[in-house]
Amino acid sequence: MITSFQDLIKTRPPWSTVLIWYLRGIALLLVGGGIIHWARIVGFVPWRGLWFWDMPIEWQAATVFFAVLDLVAATGLWLAVSWGTVMWLFRAMSQIVMHSLFSDIYGRRPYEISFYILTIAIYLLLMYLMERENRTN
């Protein structure tokens, strides 16, 4: 029975398992995002009051780009293959660039940028902990 934080640390699964479940959690978020993007494309929901066919071409391109990339990255993350992580990092960096360097077109979103930086930092921390654990075993 877990009665303290130290007991929790002693009984936790290996860091590799924690990393896989973290990536699967990110995969679920990406599946949701991909479905929302596709719902905009096929005309189920508008984005900022605009239907897909009324959006500026830049927004249409970004919507299609992330509709495909979200689902591809989610599949790779769920399967825990290396290309899934690469696709997710590419997707996160694309969003950061889009909302910082091209904020005049896509809008500035500091909370979204912070979220992506935080998720990448957690990923890097879990990778470090997993590698450290593997070296000691």
Instruction: Please write the tens of the pLDDT for every residue from 57-107.
Output: 999 999 999 999 999 999 999 999 999 999 999 999 999 999 999 989 888
- Assign 71 to helix, strand or coil: helix
Residue 75 one-letter amino acid: T
pLDDT, position 136: 82
pLDDT, position 1: 57
Instruction: State the virtual CA torsion across 55, 107, 34, 69 in degrees, nearest 10.
Output: 100
Measure Cα distances from 93 to 32, 45, 51, 61, 136 in Å.
19, 26, 26, 17, 32
pLDDT, position 114: 96
pLDDT, position 12: 79
Tokens found for residue 52 = 């897909």
* Better-predicted residue by pLDDT, 38 or 135: 38
pLDDT, position 2: 59
pLDDT, position 47: 87
pLDDT, position 8: 65
pLDDT, position 13: 87
Closest CA to 84 of 94, 95, 70: 70
